[in-house]
Chain A
Amino acid sequence: MSPWLVLAGLGAFHGLNPAMGWLFAVALGLHRNSRRIVFLSLLPIALGHAVSIALLVFAVVVVGLIVDQRILEIMAGMLLLGWAAYHAVYGHRHRVRVGMQTGMLGLGFWSFLMATSHGAGLMLVPVIIPLCLASGSAGELTAAGSLPVSLAAIGVHMAAMLGLTAAIAIGVYEWIGLAFLRRGWINLDAIWIAALAATGLILIA
């Protein structure tokens, strides 16, 4: 499969999760009785998510400039497995810093924290590394080659995430209503943990 499709797919997977922001956008719209707020809220949510991922990709590229590809993969794989374990044990158990009265800045910060604590960026590493390698000359990872391709990768991921988040948020706000959450909110966090662990194994294998 094209790595770009995988990036978009992961963006959709992240966007689908209520814990990544569409539900917060809907809630804020309901509180302030405004469809505009639903739409507006999606922007800081997508941005916070993208910044979290960008920082991680940046870190991977920097480490990749120093160490061999194989070592980089093993390091990233171990980190993913660790993150999956952390998430399985601690999950939601952390300070709650942002509440329903938040402004757009707080919402962006919240999204950044959620994406980071969920290890959203880590999940992209197996796709990003080959893309960056392919962009450099002779399969070497270079800063000059990695920058544009990384930015493009984050852009594709964020666009897919934003697209799906917006579609669900507005669909729920306008037509579906929140009652479906009672049965329909399946444990995406469990799937997420499995995805983190699988990604880690792919990198190490």
Chain B
Amino acid sequence: MASWQPDPSFYPSPRMAAKAPAEGLAYVASFDPERRKPDAIAVVDVDPASATYSQIVGQVNMPNAGDELHHFGWNACSSCLCPNAPHPHMERRYLIVPGLRSSRLHIIDTKPDPRKPKIVKVIEPEEVAEKAGYTRLHTTHCGPEGIYVNALGNAEGKAPGGIFLLDSDSFEVLGQWEMDRGPQELAYDFWWHLGHDTMVTSEWGTPDTFENGLVPEVLLGSKYGRRLHFWDLHKRKHLQEIDFGEEHQLVFELRPAHDPTKAYGFVGCVISLKDLSASIWTWYRDGDKWAVKKVIEIPAEPADPDLLPPVLKGFKAVAPLVTDIDLSMDDRFLYVSCWGTGDMIQYDVSDPFSPKETGRVRIGGIVSRETHPGAKNGTLNGGPQMVEISRDGKRVYFTNSLYGPIDPQFYPDGIDGWMVKLDVADNGGIRFDDKFFVDWPRGHRPHQVRLEGGDCSSDSYCYP
């Protein structure tokens, strides 16, 4: 229902959002890789003053098993304040939680008790497929025309994947977003530049090429996604495609600058077929077109084949596998998760074309198995994966699982879930908060983290 004033967590600009109070709770997607027990959204206490700091203090279970909860988002955020489509009298209250495998969509109310969220609506996959023509629901964003959800497959589970709209009041599926998709076939992530009326989308693959794990032939044949797509956000029309070339595979997480006047952003490419390196690219406005430039290359590390999983043995090296990145609210620091080597790297990207490394920690990793002061046993598996930054940029949270069927390809002895937190120094530099180590309950693995009140990948802004 409409409120009298805007939600207090809506901020006109990223500058104002960076002054938001610290978050007290984190919501974390938690899934059963065996698909026997229902997945859940776990509530983690992140208030250092609390007696239950760094503990799971609540949980809401999904009604079915096997959803594979992955990414999720809020029903409403700061983009409600945009001048061209204002609708600020809403509450940031509901989490929109898709199942990547099941294509089921859950609407979860966090309001009556933020520690005891409740499911208020479930949209079955058949309804999404019928009304929007999509399956394998992936990422959600609140935006100018309601709630945007993307999907990796069409109704038959094939290409094209794409985006559909959900009504932000009734949560009715409104239908496919694209009006002219041009050559776009594959989907992975999406976000936009509200100040430049531009949607950006990236690519993974069709469901048959990832639902049983990565297929080596597809990867080595450069058949996974390697392109960025740029769209007119309001005409919903494909404008431009940029191919990163045969060498580059899996173009994943998109992090546009939060400042809406800036026309650039960062995207991670998981792996190079040439040398297993990972890379970060900056996309930017070049005249009346978009262009990309590789700005970071993270090399593979030579390793004893005996310590490597079968997929990497022949290469005698551990690939960094950059599977997630996140940009701080002031567009100054970029955090890069190297799920393979176990590094979390902080770069100063004040100059988006010339990043400078300002911090690095290591935890887990295919070979290193680095531990954490808060961990009970000496070695940790999994590596830095979904990463989320507090609005003030002082705290960074991340978890260690990538995707059910892919986890064992790189961590054959299994992944024991954990969630950790970094403290960030004012001018760069990161270190672990020794007191924050969430030893994830066995049987579940953690994935995306969302922070109470918003975070650095939840909100977009119309004012600088």
Contacts and interface: CB of A to CB of B under 8 A. Distances in A.
A92 B87 contact: yes
A93 B464 contact: no
A189 B90 CA distance: 12
Contact of B86 (A18, A31, A99, A190): A18
B261 A31 contact: yes
A27 interface: yes
Nearest to A184: B5
Interface string A142-180: 000000000000000000000000000000000000110
| Contact residues of B: prevailing secondary structure | loop
Contacts of A100: 84, 194-197, 260, 462
Interface in B195-226: 195-197
Given A19-B86, A93-B169, A96-B145, A182 B261 contact: no
A56 B173 CA distance: 34
| B3, B83, B89, B144: residue with the most chain A Cβ atoms closer than 10 Å | B83
Nearest to A110: B84
Given A91-B87, A92-B85, A182-B11, A187 B234 contact: no
Contacts, number: 90
Given A30-B463, A93-B167, A187 B13 contact: no
B51 interface: no
A71 interface: no
Contacts of A40: none
A96 B85 contact: yes
Contact of B196 (A92, A97, A101, A189): A101
Given A18-B83, A26-B83, A101-B197, A96 B234 contact: yes
Given A187-B89, A189-B89, A24 B84 contact: yes
Contacts of A30: 261, 463-464
A179 B167 contact: no
Interface string A59-103: 000000000000000000000000000000001110111111110
Contacts of B383: none
Interface residues of A, number: 30
A18 to B, nearest CB: 6
Nearest to A32: B261
A93 to B, nearest CB: 6
A190 B464 contact: no
A96 B4 CA distance: 23
B66 interface: no
Given A23-B86, A100-B260, A181 B12 contact: yes
Interface in B133-162: 144-146
Contact of A92 (B3, B13, B86, B463): B86
Given A179-B12, A182-B8, A187-B3, A97 B86 contact: no
A183 interface: yes
Interface in B83-106: 83-89
Given A19-B86, A96-B145, A31 B8 contact: no
B2 A190 contact: yes
Nearest to B8: A182
Contacts of B167: 93
Nearest to B235: A97
A183 B4 CA distance: 9
A114 to B, nearest CB: 9
B27 interface: no
Nearest to A181: B12
B242 interface: no
A117 B220 CA distance: 54
Given A30-B464, A99-B197, A100-B194, A179 B86 contact: no
A200 B181 CA distance: 44
B463 A27 contact: yes
B83 A23 contact: yes
A19 B83 CA distance: 7
A178 B87 contact: no
A38 B168 CA distance: 31
A31 B83 CA distance: 12
Given A100-B197, A181-B81, 11 more contacts: A30-B261, A96-B144, A96-B145, A100-B196, A100-B260, A178-B12, A182-B6, A182-B11, A182-B16, A190-B4, A190-B89
